[in-house]
Structure 1
């Protein structure tokens, strides 16, 4: 796949995020949207056909029609779809979370490694941190406080708010520190749609995560405290306040990556597939670290799926 031919992109899942990914393949240089797979053929056709792709409802036929695969199906079937795509020799970009168990995530990692295939995970908000310059700050953080609230939605109801929302902020916290979470350093409480967690790390860093899918309005903020100052981010307004001496980019939202983090993440994946980049934005190892912490939060809060 290192030649100049356009890569045929395929998307599993014709929901909201599947549509986002299908449009990315249709507009990325060196790629085309070839196929969309969904158990509901009409939904697949609605996403695929306006972009020049074909609709599929059978996995084997879909995999024959594509070179690279995005898995944007419900999280509870991520592992099934990723493993099938890898078995067919296809590089995979899987939306977060990489799986809903560490055991399945490890199976995915081993399969990709054994076949030498690129595997990326859709924690694309790391692109925003990179655009801001936060990933280049030469200090370890002391404290992180993240709040991610939104109104009720039917999307991602197969997993808790921890795996739906909090896992984003867990990954961002892990991207800022080399420290490791302490065994026994977790306190968590809440329910399936609202969860609060406090996490301690082995170098004294601590993080607080607050998520809700039952809020009256959308609110996403983060405060990161460094020895030399702090950064307060409003992800909805796409602004931040910086009292550190480090030159973060106040115009990050106007950069190509800041305007389209998903597009930058997909472009990085395709470059890695072609051998033009050493890795995607988020690797399997990083996705598994975030999943491991998220599942510990679920266990600490004793979350279980509500009765149907």
Structure 2
């Protein structure tokens, strides 16, 4: 079973070229390059409509239809693309070879599972599922059916990640932040599964060592789930990663910084730029020659430090590239070749396991340290009645910070 970890605890990073998605040589359900791949899209809202548009334009792919509970939305997306529109995703089951699932996370298990159990390849938007249990079931369904299960961790296809990830091998410390404004989308999950999961996946794919410790802080701001979260991951090889996620920020940001023996990398996923700093050979030997440098002039010291002692390199993609197009193209390639997609279900399950540990940590720690935190606000839109807030992740409104292991300290007023 491709659980993402071997029995020894080592991470399993996909399959080799020419091998099946399940990692064996059994006959797979592939579509050759001579066949036209019939695809469908379930959920054509903010992101799913782009899945439909891109898939309809890929060579050798026929967009058969789209499905959305909002029949008018399905028609709006389908008609310009020459595809059929359905209000029930089950209408696609007998019509397609592959499906892209872009429904709310809490419906991933039901929808993707229906297709996988019928031997239909599936691309599932991140996160893989709402829980490790549901995610494991999807991986097992794909394994039994011998079909591709790809997961939409789209930052893996960001060209700046592809350019810079190997410039700082074997990182010892990683600092990542992913900050966004509140959009009233993905409200069925919190910031960990909505945003932080991107960086969890990237870091796991880079470090390649088991996580041995997880600690976390977080709190809701607008909704019934955490909107702010901070986590620390410690790995078996000694690497430490701090990850921050917020969907209640004034300024959006998607950045990661890596420190290692080979140097430092600062990656900006939004601007698609990176700065790489490497030590010179003399600095590696523990030498720093300052002869001839006017130490009374800070600019002279800086120029020498970042020109001779440290080597600075700026990276940017030569040409623009669309990450979602690359992701869906990779999905189609995996189906046609019978090999693993870049982000197979087993690796997405690894990220989900860590995310679930972080969510468990949020139930133990609170940012407010015993001060009163207001519940989720009543939201009113377009003159509609104010919505009742859902219970927060932690339940009561008053919490105190506590170390793991003991019951949370709660105010009697909660």
1:148-297 counterparts in 2 under 5 A?
148-183=178-213, 185-191=214-220, 192-244=226-278, 250-252=315-317, 254-255=318-319, 259-275=321-337, 278-297=339-358
Shift of 1:224: 1.1
More helix by share: 1
**Quick one: distance in 2 between partners of 1:77 and 1:21?**
18
| 2:118 is the counterpart of 1:88 | yes
**Quick one: distance in 2 between partners of 1:163 and 1:248?**
33
Per-residue CA shift, 1:42-94, capped at 9, x if unaligned? 01111111111111112332222222100100001011111101122210000
Provide the secondary structure at the position in 1 that maps to 2:171.
Answer: coil
Shift of 1:127: 1.7
Give the direction of change, closer, same or farther, for the CA distance of 1:129–1:205 in structure 2 (3 Å limit).
farther
RMSD of aligned Cα (Å): 2.3
Per-residue CA shift, 1:101-125, capped at 9, x if unaligned? 1111111111101110011000121
- Any conservation in 2 of the 1:133–1:248 contact (CA below 8 Å)? no
Shift of 1:15: 0.8
**Quick one: distance in 2 between partners of 1:273 and 1:249?**
36
| 2:113 is the counterpart of 1:52 | no
Unpaired segments ≥5 residues, structure 2 = 1-30, 221-225, 280-310, 367-374, 377-388, 391-414
Give the direction of change, closer, same or farther, for the CA distance of 1:229–1:262 in structure 2 (3 Å limit).
same
For normalisation by structure 1, the TM-score amounts to: 0.92
**Quick one: distance in 2 between partners of 1:164 and 1:71?**
16
Per-residue CA shift, 1:100-152, capped at 9, x if unaligned? 11111111111101110011000121122686334445731111111111111
Give the direction of change, closer, same or farther, for the CA distance of 1:129–1:177 in structure 2 (3 Å limit).
farther
Shift of 1:259: 1.3
**Quick one: distance in 1 between partners of 2:193 and 2:348?**
12
Unpaired segments ≥5 residues, structure 1 = none
Higher radius of gyration, 1 or 2: 2
Shift of 1:225: 1.1
**Quick one: distance in 1 between partners of 2:137 and 2:278?**
41
For normalisation by structure 2, the TM-score amounts to: 0.69
| 2:68 is the counterpart of 1:38 | yes
